[in-house]
Structure formats: structure tokens, C-alpha cells
Amino acid sequence: MDQESTNLPAQIADALVSIPKGLTPGVIKALDRLVGASVDIPIAWLQQKKAKIDAQTESYKLVEASIAETVASGAGADPDIAQRAMNKLVRKEYRKQVNREAVASAMVEDLRDQASSEENLATGSVPASEVDDDWLNVFERYAEDASSERLQGLWGKVLAGEVRQPGRFSTRTLRFLSEFSQADALLFETFAKSAFGDNAPKKLVAPKDQEDIRDLIYLEASGLIQGASGLGLQMTFMFDKHGRSFVREGNLIVLLTGEPEKKVQYEAIALTQLGQEVLCLVGSRNARESARAVAHAIRNPNIHEAHLGVLTDEKTGKINLMEVLWVKETPEAPIVEGSQD
């Protein structure tokens, strides 16, 4: 990227170099919203947007002047009150801008870090749509209140995920995350390490004594999981006519082989739609390790093999197999001793 004539924050400008070109429009739109008129987008990179940004800058100046006039008139003849009101307004808006730029920086960092991941490179085409304006309106309100490094990192990951796949996070999930405490996050983090795709095998997450399931009940009450209470859930999958089935999370695939058109079941606790959206935000979780754990937990005599792979082409369903997770042992044929003539 040509950084001539740009005053983007250095951390953001440097990281932008490594972001896939297919994500550029979404990144630009997000930066326009969060960083806004405080930056001059590089001319060589985004010349067609500059007129729009310059127009916004003039609008902001008019609004600022109008606010100052309104505050002054509302304060009557006391200039001290007007000055204190303006100072408070400036401090408040400054904090919001600092928070928004920190979130924007976290977004760009996440996009850069994930760009080298095989799972994300596999189907690295241009997103089918842009980040929705209404979604950005809601997101901006949460981002500007993110004063801690933890929340700024969290909202940065959310925005990065939305840029990669518009529609990935619902506004309901944004509202949930705004109230998601660190204690709640740690509790879900423990569960998430034993989950892959849309569920976690019960044998991995249920307490061994089956008595103290308060943590699971709490996650269920939060709307993240279901099947912790009551009779539980049975997950069922069927092998196709070629004897194949798979469990998917993003572009990561656990490919299973077995008897064609035969069903396999296991007890599980399912992730709700909300839980699935939050799952990918757990920073300490390694999706490949979770895939391995789940594949071993559902091991069954009816499953012959389990492989870990990456979906390389969404249209054709082509999978690049990376690792053999396990193979069903085939008993050796008995040796029959007999006399020879």
C-alpha cells in the first residue's frame, strides 16, 4: 500500500499491508466509520472515497460549530458554564475516538494475523456482500465505550470476523457481548475448548460425577448452549452413499468414513446460534486441537477413519486432508494351523 499522504495511525497503516486485497473494501468501510475524518485515506489506495470523507469532514465542522453555539446560548450569560460544558463534551468525544481507533487497530491486527492461516486462505475470495450500515451503526456504539484492552481486542475480533464474512455476527450477539463479563468469558472458554462446530460431546464437558453441573446450567441460561439439563441431546449424522460424513467449523473439516448410509449417534451438548457466533471469539482456543479432541471423543465402532482437513473450494466441496486423526484397527486374520501332505 502506498502510504504517501496518509495520516492513518501508524499501527493500523503498517498492518494494512498484509491484509488480503479481497477484504480491502470491508476494511475501508470499517475504518471510515471508526477512525472517520481524523485520517486522510491514502490517495493511491482509496481515491474514490476521498471526496466522501472530505464532505463528512465539513459536515462535522458544521455540527461542532452548532453544538458550541447551542451550549453557549443554553448557558445564558455565564461563559464559565459554557466553557465547562464544552470541555466535558470534548473530553467525552475524545475518549470515544480513542476507543474507536483502538478497536480499529485490533481489527486490522486480527485480519493480518489470520491472513497466513490455512483455514482462512483456503477460500480467500472476495466476500459476497459488504458490512451492513445498520450493523455498523450498532457496532460503533459498543466500540466507542470499550475502554479496556480486553474489550477493545474483543470488538476488534468481532469486526474482523464481520469484514471476512458479512452477516457472521447478529446484532443480538453484539448486545450479548456488551454484557459479557470476564468471569463469563472464562467459563465459556473452558467449554469451548471441548466443542467443535455446533456441539461438544457430553463425555468431554459433563462432570464425571454427573452431579455438579451448575456451570453448564449457567451457560444454558445465558443462551449459549442447550441440552445441559433435562434429558440431554443426541447428535445424529449419517454417512452418504460413499461412506463419508463430516463435521465443519468455518473452513476446518473433520472428515469421517464408515458404512454407507449408516447412522451414528452420540450424546452431546449443543451450541446455540449465539454460542456458535461467540465460539470463534475465544482467543485461547485452538480450533484444530478442539477438532482432534471431538473426533476422538465420538470414536465409534461404526466409524472407520477420522481425518482433519481444510475446505479449499466452497463450490466444489474440495477438501485438503492434512492429518489422520485415527484409523479403526482391523483385526488380523486368524492363523489356522494344519498338517501338510
Q: Would you place residue 331 in the very low, low, confident or very high pLDDT band (cuts 50, 70, 90)?
A: low
In this prediction, residues 185-194 reach a mean pLDDT of: 95
Q: What is the spatial distance between Cα 311 and Cα 316, in angstroms, rounded to a whole number?
A: 9
Per-residue H/E/C for the chain = CCCCCCCCCHHHHHHHCCCCHHHHHHHHHHHHHHCHHHCCCCHHHHHHHHHHHHHHHHHHHHHHHHHHHHHHHHCCCCHHHHHHHHHHHHHHHHHHHHHHHHHHHHHHHHHHHHHCCHHHHHCCCCCCCCCCHHHHHHHHHHHCCCCCHHHHHHHHHHHHHHHHCCCCCCHHHHHHHHCCCHHHHHHHHHHHCCCECCEEEHHHHCCCCCCCCHHHHHHHHCCCEECCCCCCEEEEEECCCCCEEEEEECCEEEEEEECCCCEEEEEEEEECHHHHHHHCCCCCCCHHHHHHHHHHHCCCCCEEEEEEEEEEECCCCEEEEEEEEEECCCCCCCCCCCCCC
Selected residue with higher pLDDT from 211 and 132: 132
Query: What is residue 69's predicted lDDT score, i.e. its pLDDT?
Result: 64
Query: What is residue 93's predicted lDDT score, i.e. its pLDDT?
Result: 83
- For the chain, the first-to-last Cα distance in angstroms comes to 84
Q: Are 60 and 37 in contact (CB under 8 A)?
A: yes
Query: What is residue 125's predicted lDDT score, i.e. its pLDDT?
Result: 61
Selected residue with higher pLDDT from 300 and 2: 300
What are phi and psi for residue 313, nearest 5 degrees? -150, 110
Bridge-partner residues for 268, per DSSP? 201, 233
pLDDT at 13 over 90: no
Compute the mean pLDDT over every residue in the chain, rounded to the nearest whole number.
Answer: 82
Q: What is the spatial distance between Cα 280 and Cα 251, in angstroms, rounded to a whole number?
A: 12
Query: What is residue 43's predicted lDDT score, i.e. its pLDDT?
Result: 40
Q: What is the spatial distance between Cα 286 and Cα 126, in angstroms, rounded to a whole number?
A: 25
Q: Would you place residue 340 in the very low, low, confident or very high pLDDT band (cuts 50, 70, 90)?
A: very low
79-88, 141-150, 279-288: the lowest-pLDDT one: 79-88
Residue linked to cell 479403526? 328
pLDDT one-digit tens code per residue, 91-114 = 888 888 889 999 999 999 999 888
pLDDT one-digit tens code per residue, 27-75 = 878 888 888 644 444 444 444 444 444 555 555 555 556 666 665 565 5
Q: What is the spatial distance between Cα 100 and Cα 156, in angstroms, rounded to a whole number?
A: 10
In this prediction, residues 174-191 reach a mean pLDDT of: 94
Whole-angstrom CA distances from 169 to 117, 127, 292 are 21, 15, 26
Query: Rounded to the nearest 10 degrees, what angle do helices 79-115 and 133-143 cross at?
Result: 110
Which of 156-194 are b and which e, b meaning 16 or more Cβ less than 10 Å from the residue's Cβ? bbbbbbbbbbbebbeeebbebbeebeeebbebbeebbbb
